Structure 1
Amino acid sequence: MKKNKSFEHIGRFIMIVIGAVIAAYGLEAVLIPNEVIDGGVTGISIMGAYLFDIPLGILLFVLNIPFVYLGYKQVGKTFALMSIAGIASLSIATVLLHDVKPILGPQDPLLIVLSGGMLLGVGIGIVLRNGGALDGSEVLAVLLSRKIPFSVGDIILFINAFIFIGASFIYGLESALYSALTYYIAKNVIDIIQVGLEKSKSVKIISNQSQEIGDAIQARLGRGVTYSQGRGGFSNEATEILTCVINRMEETKLLSIIKDIDDSAFIVISDVSEVRGGNFKKRDIH
């Protein structure tokens, strides 16, 4: 067991290093030469390196240390170690890639935003998926969300708004707007890397024909279903609630199946961040 655990940690460490190098390449070969920055501590580090002529790698490492410590206290030792590995790899990679030839020039602003955002998103997504972090601002946002009535996403957005406003004074408004767009693309790519293209959805169906709908879902969609008992708030009548988990590609077909059987069925569809255990595998229906 210990040997398997060691191999698992080594594999995660290697993937974190790979992710950090990809992110560093996106910064040094695409974004920084064209005066486009990322959000969070990375964005502050880029602006600091520009203003004070300090190597970016040093600023990235030093400015992230307090957040890694917070992560160690709040999340755990493994997260802190993996984050140190990611941040150290990013810092070293930016130093080694500092003189790399830019792959795009200022005449291609949309390509800069798209390619830079995708490279950053892929790199950061790989690191996050393997239990590490490249930027301390998200750790700070998690901690602040426990103290103030705002979500993690709201706090990150608030922090980055100030960073991009600062970038507008240093690089100009156009570069700041491109930076904000790059950050938006990177965040969406990170979500895809972490969750996958087949993002899961939980579906609850209330119908007088729930048994028939459940049989059709299993037969035509290949997904398992669960039945539970409920009671109508207005009618006070017992009712059966059908629950199943699908990926987003299957949503249209599921709605079609339900409509064919009971056009008046009550349906609630919500996003699921993660699915583990059980038997969440599509059964062969061919």
Structure 2
Amino acid sequence: MKIKLKEYFSITIGFIILAIAIKFFLAPNKIAAGGITGIAIIINNFIPKLSVGILMFFMNVILFIIGFIVIGGKFGAKTLYAALGLSGLITLLDKFIPSNVAVTNDLLLATIFGTLISGIGMGLVFNQNSSTGGTDIIAKIISKFFHFDIGKSLLIVDLIVTIAAGISFTPELGMYGLLAVILNGFMIDMVIEGLNSCKAVVVMSSKNESINRYIIEELDRGCTIFEGRGAYSGNSISVLYTVLDRKQFIKLKNYIKEIDNRAFISVNEAHEVLGEGFKDIIEE
């Protein structure tokens, strides 16, 4: 139950951040940064009575059904929540705040900051094996079956929308939309990698037995022991290998410093870790 609440809390924060980016940066400046949002912005330009939020809701219904069938009910439930939450929040904002209200009317600033903010929001949502709906669902399907990064998959899908924006508005706005799509793809991948990254740690110490017990008993993590031999000394030595999150690594480093300040520690970034104690392999 706690895990589910954490997942939906993260999704909620994600679509709130995304709604802010759309409402105050992208939509008022007519920057159609791909996806259903971009399509809604284009249609809203020709039919102002239909708000961006309402357009997103109805277009999402069709793609949601596709995602539910292809990817599965678990993904569909989270996506339904995110999609309805996002479109509902934007619709609510449209009722109380005029559509032309923007943090900045400078197209370059609106593109950069709107994309960075939306990328953070979408990254939070995607990281929970969900989507904000729309063409995000198509990107998730491409990622699932062709093993592309989600951001790159989204980039491919959204290029078509930016071309339509260039035709509907001006070539300049189309180019800003294209810039937003490119930045968005990279930003999403950076956020996901940052949220899932861990430390892969190798330890060689005369106190390996104590360190091994500390990792298992205090940090509640697994540890693998390799038997090695020093190339110079020829002495046998045990090598510990474990994967920890950032907080756990700091605790381990401080512990090793206390008991053996001559220990050898090698640390590498693990951008994604799957399996017991980490992200569920099945969700992939």
Aligned equivalents of 1:31, 1:153: Cα separation in 2: 19
1:74 equivalenced with 2:90 (yes/no): no
- Structure 1: which amino acid aligns with 2:103? L
Q: Quick one: which of 93, 97, 105 aligns to 2:93?
A: 97
Task: Find out whether 1:44 has 2:39 as its counterpart.
Answer: yes
Work out whether residues 36 and 60 of structure 2, in 8 Å CA contact, stay in contact via their aligned partners in 1: yes
1:106 equivalent in structure 2 = 105
Which residue does the alignment assign to 1:180? 178
Shift of 1:122: 1.9
**CA displacement, residues 32-89 of structure 1 (integer Å, 9 cap, x when unaligned):** 1111122122211221222233221122112122222222223322221111111111
Deviation at 1:29, TM superposition (A): 1.0
Larger mean CA deviation between 20-29 and 129-138 belongs to 129-138
Following superposition of structure 1 onto structure 2, how do residues 128-207 of structure 1 map, counting pairs within 5 Å?
Answer: 128-143=126-141, 156-196=154-194, 199=197
| Structure 1 contact 21–93 (Cα < 8 Å) conserved | yes
2:149·2:189 contact (CA, 8 Å) conserved in 1?
no
Residue 19 of structure 2 corresponds to which residue in structure 1? 24
| Cα distance change, pair 51–76 in 1 and its aligned pair in 2 (3 A) | same
Contact 1:25 1:97 in 2 (8 A): no
Structure 1 counterpart of 2:273: 274
Q: Give, in whole Å, the separation in 2 of the partners of 1:170 and 1:199.
A: 41
Contact 2:15–2:122 at 8 Å: present in 1 too? yes
- Cα offsets for 1:136-177 (capped at 9, x unmatched): 323324545788898866654332222111111122122122
Percent identity over the alignment is: 24
2:29 and 2:107 in contact (8 A); partners too = no
- Please tell me whether the aligned partners of residues 162 and 174 of structure 2 are also in contact (alpha carbons under 8 angstroms): yes
Residue 26 of structure 1 contacts residue 119 of structure 1 at CA under 8 Å; is this kept in 2?
A: yes
Please provide the CA RMSD for this pair: 4.6
What is the TM-score when the length of structure 1 is the normalising length? 0.64
Aligned partner of 1:85 in structure 2 is 81
Cα separation, 2, equivalents of 1:158 and 1:189: 15
Q: 1:122 to 1:201 in 2, by over 3 A?
A: same
Q: How does 1:10-21 map to 2 (within 5 A)?
A: 10-21=5-16
Structure 2 residues without counterparts, runs of 5 or longer = 205-211, 213-220, 228-239, 246-267, 279-284
Which amino acid is the alignment partner of residue 108 of structure 2? Answer: P
Residue by residue over 1:95-127, the C-alpha shift from the partner in whole angstroms, topping out at 9 and shown as x without a partner, is: 1212637343323623x1222012211221222
Q: Residues of 1 paired with 2:172 and 2:39: CA distance?
A: 18
User: Unmatched 5+ residue regions in structure 1?
Assistant: 204-209, 211-217, 219-223, 230-241, 248-268, 280-286
* Whole-angstrom CA distance in 2 between matches of 1:149 and 1:127: 19
Alignment of 1:218-257 (within 5 A): none
| CA–CA distance in structure 2, aligned partners of residues 149 and 193 of structure 1 | 18
Distance 1:183 1:153 in 2: 9
AA matched with 1:124: M
Residue 128 of structure 1 and its aligned partner are, at CA, apart by: 1.9
Report the counterpart of residue 34 of structure 1 in structure 2.
29
- Where 1:105 maps in the other structure, the secondary structure is coil
The 3 A distance-change label for structure 1 pair 18 and 157 is closer
Describe the SS at the equivalent of 2:192.
Answer: helix
Q: Partner letter of residue 40 of structure 2?
A: S
1:193 Cα deviation from its structure 2 partner: 2.8
- Change beyond 3 A, Cα 1:154–1:30: closer
